[in-house]
């Protein structure tokens, strides 16, 4: 009986093809909007997560604080140095990597070409902490880091600018006023979540950086990679305790350094995009509601138009519930059909948008099921009133209807 | 006359049908008593507003009396609710209308199957019964035509097939030949007469054409909500 009714409903949809299509359009647009918005939103969240993972997950960044202009600060500013680094190396328990790094933007020259690149002084642990490998060549040796060798690694942007597809191994580039020999090429990292080209880099031993680029013994940041499963918050506390000692901060003074926890940054950013996704989805949901009203409207027209048909059916023995189910099924079939087309359209739109924005395409099965379920529900809810109106018709009046 | 004719099929006992209230009250039926036995072929006549359509609607269980008892198959059908009356219609009554009332853009076979759909008969059996009914009204080979592809007489034959496919006890026909020319009228009336004689189908037919009423063995005339005359046809020879 139900199968029969569905067949009947499909036939009625087909017979009024244009009208059905226009009615469907409301649902199609609604479902497509919801799916596209949520898929693009989830893609954005995923992209942020990936970007932060690129910076290194479980990564703590220690940096010194500078007094804020006009601010009332209760600390003595002082850069990080060798002693802080040693204190952490001795005092911290089991961590994956501790790396002293410094950065400065410098002009890098090779032959007739030059570009402004991020020049980073680093040690061997830097590549572990940042989870950054070479695609060719090698990273530094311990002796190169200690001895301040004139060697460097370049990022993909630097490599393509200077060498195109060629092999830059052993080429000498000028960084600021020093010359260094390229020993390796770093794997591409892409653009960071903050919009910075992470491949426009030259990495050299920190001792070389301090002597030849910065001209002092300061350390810019200390990166600490925490082992998987270890709480970054706990390690942060340990780091703070050690640094207060090595930096001889009096108990009544505030920290003149800070520890940034990447997982916290990641959480903050993903929660922002998640809220955004939800809001976009809810807005798109409103259009689904409008689509539902379209269904109700057309079902009312359909019931009026087919009053005589309802009369015939009632006269030859259809029960109220048969008529009710017939129109309900028709409305549901109509909106489900719209839902299915909407899914295809929404996913296509999302696929196009994610490809254009170069963010991951992450279709969610639950969102798709929800959209189908919701469009079916809309058909039933908005189809119910017109269906009931049809079912309650008096057969004699309905038969007289012209 | 066969044996069946002695069994009462339906009866009106002091049936009133009243519309409106107070001053504007109109009695479509004003105390009607009548009885129709199984196997009878009855024509109901009368001018418009005489109450013939109202009594037909009550007989067909489409309507209920305001007062009085409508006894159908020993049941007080006037006191039944909508869905029980729908069931009575589906099980025991077939309808033929003046305007055929077939579903448009639906084949003859599908139209005939419709009452069986509401009975929950399986598709295969439905199709077989529909073909049988179409054959009975002389429409073999037309089962896949839609009403628009059939003449008026053929459409009315489809409607009759739809009415008899459930093997009803009673056929209610409302001006079945009202839209047809004389030749077609006689064809349809011969068909109905044959169903009455051969199958023992009880037929109650509303008409305002005297020559159509001639086919019936009994004619009841209404006037102002009351029965004016109730005459049996004199058998020729």
Mean pLDDT along residues A300-309: 86
**How many Å apart are CA B229 and CA A54, to the nearest integer?**
100
A17-30 in b/e burial notation, b at 16+ Cβ within 10 A?
A: eeebeebbebbbbb
Are A315 and B62 a contacting pair at CB < 8 A?
yes
**How many Å apart are CA A282 and CA A37, to the nearest integer?**
9
Rg (Cα) of chain A, in Å, rounded? 33
For A14, the token pair is: 């087909």
Are B120 and A1 a contacting pair at CB < 8 A?
yes
**How many Å apart are CA B164 and CA B141, to the nearest integer?**
18
The reply to whether ipTM tops 0.95 is no
Residue B237 lies in a domain: no
Overall domain count for chain B: 1
Question: How many degrees, rounded to 5, is the angle at CA A108 between CA A103 and CA A110?
Answer: 150
Q: What is the pLDDT of residue A72?
A: 67
Q: What are phi and psi of B39, to 5 degrees?
A: 90, -5
Q: Among A53-57, A126-130, B46-50, B166-170, which is the least confidently predicted range?
A: A53-57
Residue A133 contacts residue A140 (beta carbons within 8 Å): no
| B-interface mutation test, from A1, A16, A305, A317, most B Cβ less than 10 A away | A317
List C-alpha distances in Å: A46 to A50, A193, A273, A340, A345: 6, 11, 9, 26, 22
Helices (H), B38-119: 52-59, 82-92, 108-117
Residue B17 lies in a domain: yes
The percent of residues in chain A predicted with pLDDT above 70, rounded, is 97
Strand (E) or helix (H) holding B170 = strand B170-174
Q: Which residue of B has its CA nearest to A392?
A: B82
The more confidently predicted of residues A286 and A67 is A286
Domain of residue B9, residue span: 3-232
Strand (E) or helix (H) holding A179 = strand A178-186
Are B82 and A320 a contacting pair at CB < 8 A?
yes
Strand (E) or helix (H) holding A243 = helix A232-246
**How many Å apart are CA B93 and CA B121, to the nearest integer?**
17
The more confidently predicted of residues B95 and B7 is B95
Rg (Cα) of chain B, in Å, rounded? 18
pTM: 0.68
Q: Where are the domains of chain A?
A: 2-51+267-400, 66-95+226-255, 97-224
User: For A304, which DSSP code?
Assistant: H
Strand (E) or helix (H) holding A173 = strand A172-175
Residue A329 has pLDDT above 50, yes or no: yes
Are A314 and B114 a contacting pair at CB < 8 A?
no
What is the band of B110 on the pLDDT scale with cuts at 50, 70, 90? very high
Residue position matching structure tokens 């810019």: A220
Name which of A309, A317, A321 is nearest B90 (Cβ-Cβ): A317
**How many Å apart are CA B52 and CA B169, to the nearest integer?**
21
| A-interface mutation test, from B28, B107, B118, most A Cβ less than 10 A away | B118
Q: What is the pLDDT of residue B5?
A: 47
Which residues in chain A are contacts of B117 at CB distance < 8 A?
1, 4
Residue B237 has pLDDT above 60, yes or no: no
**CATH number reported for the structural domain that contains residue B203 in this entry:** 3.40.50.300
Residue A56 has pLDDT above 80, yes or no: no
Are B87 and A314 a contacting pair at CB < 8 A?
no
**Which class for B108: exposed (0-12), middle (13-18), buried (19 or more C-beta within 10 A)?**
buried
Are B86 and A318 a contacting pair at CB < 8 A?
yes
Residue A6 has pLDDT above 50, yes or no: yes
> For residue B148, how many other CB atoms are within 10 A of its CB?
9
Q: Which residue of A has its CA nearest to B121?
A: A1
Nearest alpha-carbon partner for B12 in B50, B61, B59, B46: B59
Name which of B83, B97, B103 is nearest A309 (Cβ-Cβ): B103
Mean pLDDT along residues B204-220: 93
Nearest alpha-carbon partner for B100 in B41, B167, B175: B175
A292/chain B closest Cα distance in angstroms: 28
Are A316 and B103 a contacting pair at CB < 8 A?
no
Residue position matching structure tokens 């429409």: B139
Residue A117 contacts residue A202 (beta carbons within 8 Å): yes
Distance in Å from the first CA to the final CA of chain A = 29
Name which of A1, A312, A314 is nearest B86 (Cβ-Cβ): A314
A308/chain B closest Cα distance in angstroms: 8
Residue A292 has pLDDT above 90, yes or no: no
Q: Rounded to 10 degrees, what is the CA torsion of A186, A192, A195, A197?
A: 0
Which residues in chain A are contacts of B166 at CB distance < 8 A?
317
**How many Å apart are CA A200 and CA A157, to the nearest integer?**
5
Residue B3 has pLDDT above 50, yes or no: no
Distance in Å from the first CA to the final CA of chain B = 14
Which residues in chain B are contacts of A326 at CB distance < 8 A?
none
What is the band of B235 on the pLDDT scale with cuts at 50, 70, 90? low
Mean pLDDT along residues A22-41: 88
Q: What is the pLDDT of residues B122-173, one digit of tens each?
A: 989 999 999 999 999 999 999 999 999 999 999 999 999 999 999 999 999 9
Q: Which residue of A has its CA nearest to B168?
A: A316
What is the band of B222 on the pLDDT scale with cuts at 50, 70, 90? very high
Residue B1 has pLDDT above 50, yes or no: no
Nearest alpha-carbon partner for A189 in A203, A176, A207, A175: A203
Which residues in chain B are contacts of A395 at CB distance < 8 A?
62
Which residues in chain B are contacts of A313 at CB distance < 8 A?
114, 118
> For residue B237, how many other CB atoms are within 10 A of its CB?
2
For B185, the token pair is: 């009228």
Q: Among A188-192, B120-124, B144-148, B200-204, which is the least confidently predicted range?
A: A188-192
Which residues in chain A are contacts of B89 at CB distance < 8 A?
315-317
Residue A364 has pLDDT above 90, yes or no: no
Helix A320-357 × helix A365-391 angle, to 10°: 150
Q: What is the pLDDT of residues B26-72, one digit of tens each?
A: 999 999 999 999 999 999 999 988 999 999 999 999 999 999 999 99
Are B114 and A308 a contacting pair at CB < 8 A?
no
Length of chain B: 237
Q: Among A46-60, A152-166, B165-179, which is the least confidently predicted range?
A: A46-60
Residue A86 has pLDDT above 80, yes or no: yes
Name which of A4, A309, A316 is nearest B162 (Cβ-Cβ): A316
Calculate the average pLDDT of chain B.
91
List C-alpha distances in Å: A8 to A12, A109, A322, A325, B188: 6, 76, 12, 11, 31
Residue B206 lies in a domain: yes
Q: What is the pLDDT of residue A1?
A: 65
Mean pLDDT along residues A295-302: 84
For A12, the 3-state DSSP assignment is helix
**How many Å apart are CA A340 and CA A371, to the nearest integer?**
9
Residue A151 has pLDDT above 90, yes or no: yes
């Amino acid at each position: 009986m139900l199968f029969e009714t569905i067949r009947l409903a499909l036939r009625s949809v087909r017979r009024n093809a244009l009208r059905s299509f226009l009615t469907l359009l409301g649902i199609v647009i609604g479902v497509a909007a919801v799916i596209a918005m949520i898929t693009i939103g989830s893609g954005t969240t995923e992209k942020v997560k990936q970007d932060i993972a690129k910076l290194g997950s479980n990564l703590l960044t220690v940096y010194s604080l500078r007094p804020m202009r006009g601010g009332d600060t209760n600390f003595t500013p002082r850069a990080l140095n060798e002693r802080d680094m040693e204190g952490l190396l001795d005092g911290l328990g089991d961590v994956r990597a501790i790396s002293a790094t410094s950065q400065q933007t410098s002009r890098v020259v090779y032959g007739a070409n030059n570009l402004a690149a991020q020049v980073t002084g680093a040690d061997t642990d830097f590549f572990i902490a940042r989870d950054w490998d070479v695609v060719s060549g090698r990273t530094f040796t311990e002796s190169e880091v200690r001895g301040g060798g004139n060697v460097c690694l370049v990022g993909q942007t630097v490599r393509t600018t200077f060498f195109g597809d060629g092999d830059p191994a052993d080429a000498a580039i000028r960084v600021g006023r020093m010359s260094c020999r390229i020993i390796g090429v770093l794997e591409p990292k892409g653009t960071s979540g903050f919009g910075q080209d992470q491949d426009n880099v030259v990495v050299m031993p920190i001792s070389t950086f301090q002597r030849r680029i910065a001209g002092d013994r300061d350390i810019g940041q200390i990166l600490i990679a925490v082992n998987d499963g270890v709480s970054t918050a706990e390690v942060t506390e340990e780091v703070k305790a050690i640094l207060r000692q090595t930096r001889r901060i009096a108990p009544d003074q505030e920290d003149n350094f800070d520890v940034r926890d990447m997982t916290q940054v990641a959480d903050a950013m993903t929660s922002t995009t998640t809220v955004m996704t939800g809001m976009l989805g809810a807005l798109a949901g409103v259009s689904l509601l409008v689509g539902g009203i379209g269904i109700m409207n057309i079902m009312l027209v359909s019931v009026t138009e087919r009053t005589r048909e309802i009369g015939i059916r009632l006269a030859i023995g259809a029960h109220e519930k048969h008529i009710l189910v017939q129109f309900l099924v028709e409305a549901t079939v109509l909106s489900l059909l719209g839902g299915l087309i909407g899914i295809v359209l929404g996913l296509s739109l999302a696929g196009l948008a994610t490809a254009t924005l170069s963010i991951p395409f992450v279709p969610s099965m639950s969102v798709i099921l929800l959209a189908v379920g919701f469009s079916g529900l809309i058909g039933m809810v908005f189809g119910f009133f017109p269906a009931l109106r049809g079912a309650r018709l008096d057969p004699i009046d309905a038969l007289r209807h012209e | 006359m066969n044996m069946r004719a002695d069994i009462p099929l339906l009866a009106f006992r002091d049936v009133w049908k009243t519309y409106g209230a107070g001053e504007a009250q109109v009695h479509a039926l004003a105390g009607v008593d009548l009885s129709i036995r199984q196997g009878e072929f009855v024509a109901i006549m009368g001018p418009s507003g005489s109450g013939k359509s109202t009594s037909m609607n009550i007989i067909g269980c489409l309507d209920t009396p305001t007062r009085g008892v409508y006894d159908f198959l020993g049941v007080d059908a006037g006191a039944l609710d909508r869905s029980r009356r729908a069931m009575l219609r589906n099980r025991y009554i077939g309808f033929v209308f003046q305007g055929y009332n077939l579903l448009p853009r639906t084949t003859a076979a599908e139209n005939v199957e419709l009452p069986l759909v509401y009975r929950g008969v399986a598709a295969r059996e439905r199709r077989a019964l529909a073909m049988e009914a179409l054959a009975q009204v002389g429409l073999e080979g037309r089962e896949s035509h839609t009403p628009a592809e059939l003449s008026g007489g053929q459409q009315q034959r489809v409607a009759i097939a739809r009415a008899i496919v459930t093997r009803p006890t009673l056929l209610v026909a409302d001006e079945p030949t009202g839209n047809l020319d004389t030749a077609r009228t006689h064809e349809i009336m011969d068909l109905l007469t044959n169903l009455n004689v051969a199958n023992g189908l009880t037929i109650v037919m509303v008409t305002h054409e005297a020559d159509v009423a001639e086919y019936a063995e009994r004619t009841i005339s209404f006037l102002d909500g009351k029965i004016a005359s109730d005459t049996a046809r004199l058998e020729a020879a």
